[in-house]
Amino acid sequence: MHEANTPLIRLAKRDGMSRGKMWAIRAAAFVVAILIGAVVFLLIGNNPISAYGTILTGSLGKKTAIRQTVRIAIPLLGTALAIAPCFKMKFWNIGAEGQITAGAVGAAYFALFWADKLPGPVLLVVMAIAGALFGGIWALIPAFFKTRWGTNETLFTLMMNYIAIGIVNWLQGGPWEGRPGSQIIPQYDSAAVLPKVLGVHCGWIIVLALTVLMYFYMKYTKQGYEIAVVGESENTARYAGMNVGRIVMRTMFLSGAISGLVGFIVSSGADNTLHSGVAAGVGFTAITVAWLAQLNPFAMVGISALLAVLEKGADTLQTQMQVPASISDIITGVVLFCMLGCEFFINYRVILRGHHKEVTGA
């Protein structure tokens, strides 16, 4: 080998890194993110230690604070679970925002117009099913065009978000408006509100159950296996006799249905009404949750909890230290950047010039 022709830095794929080392790299990336956040606090003249302390006590210090943090984490976790099978299949569904909203519309229809006709528990079950159906169908539309004509799913699902939100805006100001001119849909009947368990609406039980189910679905079922094969190579899947189009549409329906269920949970449990901000960016943030968790449902629990702590803690930071609450988005972004970047050091090996002997020996 001619030494002069070797570039200064080369890259090689790496596989078989030990689990412990992988998580050590991720932990280091997280620490780096926290340090960058500390620099931001210093720049605006706050003590980083007391700022982070306020975030922790503000989100986990009191019972009421913990409840609010859990309420933020519920839709994040649920939607991340919804996104996991799509991303495993390398189908870039960034339309969870719209699927949540569509699901909330389905649930709201029954909450508004069937509350007096159905007994309480039945009403909630019907709302949940309607939410899942609406979300699923909303997701099925781009999946259909993708399988039939190869329409770019990233861009299609993105557009569907704003169409769903626009439709809710119309419902709010038009057909479903409560008091004329208010632009607000009336509060749900108490029968259409999810009951509370341990002080938080029981959505947390639903998403935790979904976590376990999704883990088994992806890891131990035939359908989960098909999703993994399609994600690795569509041609392999076709050669093995799988109906790729059917798998894509089925998975997207499932994904949209879970997002729709989240829409039901949020509108019934947290908001008690339908409004255009029902998804509130959760659809986008959940994508990063799912991706950082390596699409592992159990890891998603931890990451959605972490982001919820940041968001709730930043609210307290605003009231106590007059730091704008948008600091949570900045820190979340920095954490995401660092965690995304660190995957490189897990998947690739950086080789400096003159070190190739060691490489061939390894």
Partner 1 sequence: MSINQSFLVLLISAAVLNGTPLLFGTVGEILSEKAGNLNLGVEGMMYMGGALGLGAAFYYEQAAGGSANGIVAVVLAILFAFLAGAFGALIYAFLTISLRANQNVTGLALAIFGTGAGQFIGEYMRVSAGGYVAISNALKDVFANSPFPAALRGLPVVGPLIFGYNIFVYVGVIIAVAMAWFLTRSRAGLHLRSVGESPATADAAGINITRYKYLATVIGGGISAIGGMVYIMTIAGCVWNHEGLSGEGWLAVALVIFCLWRPLNAIWGSVLFGALMILYMRLQLPFIPSQLYKILPYVVTVIVLVAVSMRKKRENQPPASLGNAYFREDR
Q: What share of the chain is helix, strand, coil (3-state, %, to 5)?
A: 75, 5, 25
Binding status of residue 213 toward partner 1 by CB under 8 A: no
| Region near partner 1 per CB under 8 A, out of 62-70, 247-255, 318-326, 352-360 | 318-326
d(C-alpha 324, C-alpha 342), whole Å: 29
Q: Which CB sits closer to partner 1, 152 or 221?
A: 152
Of 13, 117, 179, 357, the residue at the interface with partner 1 (CB under 8 A) is 13
The per-residue DSSP string of 114-175 comes to STTTS-HHHHHHHHHHHHHHHHHHHHHHHHHHHHHH---HHHHHHHHHHHHHHHHHHHHHTT
d(C-alpha 282, C-alpha 223), whole Å: 27
Task: Evaluate whether 136 touches 253 at the Cβ level (below 8 Å).
Answer: yes
| Region near partner 1 per CB under 8 A, out of 15-23, 105-113, 165-173, 254-262 | 165-173
Min dist CB 98 to partner 1, Å, is: 10
Binding status of residue 347 toward partner 1 by CB under 8 A: yes
Q: In the range 26-65, which residues lie near partner 1 by CB under 8 A?
A: 44
Using only the alpha carbons of the chain, give its radius of gyration.
23
Of 66, 167, 299, 321, the residue at the interface with partner 1 (CB under 8 A) is 167
Q: Which CB sits closer to partner 1, 169 or 223?
A: 169
Site string for partner 1, 274-293 (x = CB under 8 A): -------x--xx-xx--x--
Of 53, 121, 166, 354, the residue at the interface with partner 1 (CB under 8 A) is 166
CA nearest neighbour of 342 among 70, 134, 32 = 32
Angle at 339 between CA 335 and CA 345, to 5 degrees: 150
Of 28, 49, 50, 151, the residue at the interface with partner 1 (CB under 8 A) is 151
What is the 8-class DSSP label of residue 192? G
What is the 8-class DSSP label of residue 187? P
Min dist CB 138 to partner 1, Å, is: 13
Of 29, 80, 94, 254, the residue at the interface with partner 1 (CB under 8 A) is 94
Q: Which CB sits closer to partner 1, 170 or 239?
A: 170
Query: Which H/E stretch holds residue 349?
Result: strand 348-352
Q: Letter for the amino acid at 141?
A: I
Site residues for partner 1 per CB under 8 A: 11-13, 44, 92, 94, 145, 149-152, 154-156, 158-163, 166-167, 169-170, 172-174, 281, 284-285, 287-288, 291, 322, 324, 326-330, 332-334, 336-337, 340-341, 343-344, 347-348
